[in-house]
Amino acid sequence: MCGIVGYCGPRATPEVLLQGLKRLEYRGYDSAGVCVAHHGKLQVVKRVGKLRELTLALDHSLPGSYGIGHTRWATHGGITETNAHPHLDRTGKIALVHNGIIENYETLRARLENKGYRFQSETDTEVIVQLISDFYQGDLEDAVRQTLSLLKGTYGLAILHADHPDIIIAARNGSPLVIGVGEGEMFLGSDVAAMVAYTRQVIYMEDGDIAVIDRQGYRLTNSFDRKVDKKIETISYQLEEIEKGAYPHFMLKEIHEQVHSIPRAYQGRIDHENATAKLGGLNMKSQQLLHIDRVKIIAAGTSWHAGMVGAYLLESLARIPAQVELSSEVRYRNPIIEKNCLYFAVSQSGETADTLFAMRELQRKGATVLGIVNAVGSTIARESNGGVYIHSGPEIAVASTKAFTSQVTVFYLLALMFARLRHLSWPEGKKFIAELESVPGKLSLALEQEAHIQALAKKYAAYKDFLFLGRGINFPVALEGALKLKEISYIHAEGFSAAEIKHGPIALINPETPSLFLVPNDSLRDKVVSNINEVKGRGGPVIAVCEDGDTEVMRLADDVITVPSVSEFFTPLVMVVPLQLFSYYCALELGRDVDQPRNLAKSVTVE
């Protein structure tokens, strides 16, 4: 995945690069490095480990008015200082940072080795810088163009040359890059977060774009060397949104923010008078929407779970057949595009390679794909045929929380809109809207359980295996609960439909394997209660998340987390919050790095 930054201007370059990398650390954090150019010399500093290692090692007053930096999530080659970026060519005059994967690097490397080149690292990236060096005859841009024409794979690149003071060359194909425009200074980053402290004026690079950036501005061309004119966009979010504030971790901040982020997903989108939702971004008229016979949803990770809730809502409320599929599977399955089928690509980052490539494949075959995206200006947001921003604000913790509940909220709006176009009456629509608008208040009540959940985490964090069990609309929430626990606490956890345990997972039940049951007071409650009895009968500890006042469940379970009562469709929003808090506190109890769990990254821009 990796994060890239670049800067040219009068500020202290190391400081700007480190600040930018700090904002991009969510993209990868196994090593980091910077290169600063000064008087025809490149100074490279790299360190293994989190950014703080580099921050300690780097001389913050290192002179130089342009530089590049990188935070790595290793793909090719182990986590070592040699494999960390920036990489230098054999003359030591060209430095390069890369986000993406070069698929034909072995062939290119062999070709260069035959010419006598010796490689320092095990990375795919080093071939790029050595190729540029090989082509270089005084014109850096030309050497970069020749190199890019040989590369197969994905890249976001930033390149410096000691003999070309004050320019950075950037190139993009499949990995995001944004140019920041300041006064007498320019920025580069994988994401606007890298530059938001300095400028709000940005240009989103497209695939095939090459930018030559200096202090005064930039020149953007495409792969055919034709000038590209792009509008400068103004980014809206505030610096506080990407800072922890009084919270110890971004994850806890983001869990608490849900009381406000859920309303942001529906505010301004509800037509109270007509008891429906208005979603202008879909770029589709009611008549077109009426002709939709089927919905398919593609996504990865937590977004996939939100998509599962969405499919359930679209079928149950709107009565539209809806399916959800992992985007990583869609692309290579040679999907069949059905007539009158509408696709949704769900992605917090809007950059997930699996989802992006699946979307492109579907579009290539003629499908209409709408995005449900958080990151404004991201690739999926720009390349989709329309869509809905979830507006949950920047999500920094690697484990997704508020984006999940906002994605689900957007599905409430979509289901309502489709249902009102078809069969749902005005009073039923009104009731649904009132219930949706009451959720944030109920979520505040759910958050009041925090101290109790923390105590439960103390009691349970030492267990090695967990089952998360739910049914119906809460089956995906059980999957999400298990994913949260494993990704940040490293406790092994699996999610199942509670009904499914008798077909296998019940063999795992013993006094060392707690089961966390989701028991809303819905149409399937009694069946879930029977499953609790089956687990209890086999000596398995049970934690139940149930509605306040459900005395039967409270008696049956070893421990209980109560949530306020909401109608069946809205239970995922109140059920997921205790699971997020439980994971958070288990991870804390075990001394894990909550916001940056091992081996993971937030924005997965590799397949």
Residues noted as catalytic? 2, 602
Q: Select the residue whose beta carbon is closest to ligand G6P and give its number.
A: 301
| 349 lines the binding site for ligand G6P (CB under 6 A) | yes
Please identify, among the stretches 195-203, 331-339, 396-404, 513-521, the one whose residues bind ligand G6P according to the rule CB under 6 A. Answer: 396-404
Please identify, among the stretches 53-61, 233-241, 541-549, 596-604, the one whose residues bind ligand G6P according to the rule CB under 6 A. Answer: 596-604
DSSP readout, 193-230? GGTTTT--EEEE--TT-EEEEETTEEEEE-TTS-B---
Q: CB under 8 Å to 416, separation ≥6 — which residues? A: 276, 277, 317, 318, 424, 429, 432, 433, 436
Q: Is the dihedral of CA 281, 284, 289, 295 positive or negative?
A: negative
Please identify, among the stretches 205-213, 313-321, 395-403, 576-584, the one whose residues bind ligand G6P according to the rule CB under 6 A. Answer: 395-403
Here's the x/- map for ligand G6P, 64-83, by CB under 6 A: it reads as --------------------
Q: How far is the CB of 349 from ligand G6P (least distance, A)?
A: 3
DSSP readout, 423-447? T--HHHHHHHHHHHHHHHHHHHHHH
Q: How far is the CB of 600 from ligand G6P (least distance, A)?
A: 5
| 175 lines the binding site for ligand G6P (CB under 6 A) | no
Amino acid letter, residue 572: P
CB-nearer residue toward ligand G6P: 13 or 603: 603
| 378 lines the binding site for ligand G6P (CB under 6 A) | no
| 352 lines the binding site for ligand G6P (CB under 6 A) | yes
CB-nearer residue toward ligand G6P: 347 or 580: 347
Q: How far is the CB of 352 from ligand G6P (least distance, A)?
A: 3
Q: Which of 267, 219, 205, 180 is nearest to 5 (CA)?
A: 180
Residue 524 half-sphere exposure toward CB, CA atoms < 13 A: 20
Q: Which of 596, 602, 605, 606 binds ligand G6P (CB under 6 A)?
A: 602
The length of the chain in residues reads 607
- Whole-angstrom CA distances from 149 to 153, 219, 221, 225 are 11, 19, 14, 12
How do strand 168-173 and strand 155-161 relate by DSSP bridges? antiparallel
Whether residue 248 is preceded by a cis peptide bond, meaning omega within 30 degrees of 0, is no
CA dihedral 75, 78, 82, 83 (to 10 degrees): 0
Residue 236 half-sphere exposure toward CB, CA atoms < 13 A: 5
Q: How far is the CB of 398 from ligand G6P (least distance, A)?
A: 5
Q: How far is the CB of 66 from ligand G6P (least distance, A)?
A: 31
CB-nearer residue toward ligand G6P: 301 or 476: 301
Q: Residue 329 has which token pair?
A: 């599977």
Ramachandran area for residue 382 (φ above 0: left; ψ -120 to 50: alpha; else beta): alpha
Q: Which of 182, 219, 210, 178 is nearest to 198 (CA)?
A: 182
Q: How far is the CB of 391 from ligand G6P (least distance, A)?
A: 15
Please identify, among the stretches 342-350, 385-393, 414-422, 492-500, the one whose residues bind ligand G6P according to the rule CB under 6 A. Answer: 342-350
Here's the x/- map for ligand G6P, 303-332, by CB under 6 A: it reads as x-----------------------------
CB-nearer residue toward ligand G6P: 196 or 300: 300
Q: What 3-state DSSP class applies to 15?
A: helix
Here's the x/- map for ligand G6P, 483-522, by CB under 6 A: it reads as ----------------------------------------
* Pairwise CA distance, residues 604 & 234, whole Å: 25
Q: How far is the CB of 599 from ligand G6P (least distance, A)?
A: 10
Number of residues forming the site for ligand G6P (CB under 6 A): 15
Q: How far is the CB of 579 from ligand G6P (least distance, A)?
A: 14
| 400 lines the binding site for ligand G6P (CB under 6 A) | yes
| 596 lines the binding site for ligand G6P (CB under 6 A) | no
Q: Which of 121, 175, 199, 347 binds ligand G6P (CB under 6 A)?
A: 347
CB-nearer residue toward ligand G6P: 207 or 271: 207
CB-nearer residue toward ligand G6P: 300 or 433: 300
Q: Which of 19, 261, 355, 474 binds ligand G6P (CB under 6 A)?
A: 355
Task: Tell me which residues in 268-307 interact with ligand G6P (CB under 6 A).
Answer: 300-303
Residue 175 half-sphere exposure toward CB, CA atoms < 13 A: 26
Helix (H) / strand (E) containing 66: strand 66-72
Amino acid letter, residue 499: A
Q: How far is the CB of 139 from ligand G6P (least distance, A)?
A: 38
Q: Can you list the positions of beta strands (E) in 256-347?
A: 270-271, 276-277, 294-299, 322-326, 341-347
| 479 lines the binding site for ligand G6P (CB under 6 A) | no
Residue 8 CA, chain-centre distance (Å), reads 29
Tell me the sheet residues that pair with 161.
94
Tell me the sheet residues that pair with 99.
156
Q: How far is the CB of 262 from ligand G6P (least distance, A)?
A: 17
Q: What does DSSP assign to residue 506?
A: G
Please identify, among the stretches 37-45, 161-169, 220-228, 341-349, the one whose residues bind ligand G6P according to the rule CB under 6 A. Answer: 341-349
| 398 lines the binding site for ligand G6P (CB under 6 A) | yes
Q: Which of 127, 202, 469, 604 binds ligand G6P (CB under 6 A)?
A: 604
- Which residues of this protein are in contact with ligand G6P, per CB under 6 A? 300-303, 347-349, 352, 355, 398-400, 600, 602, 604
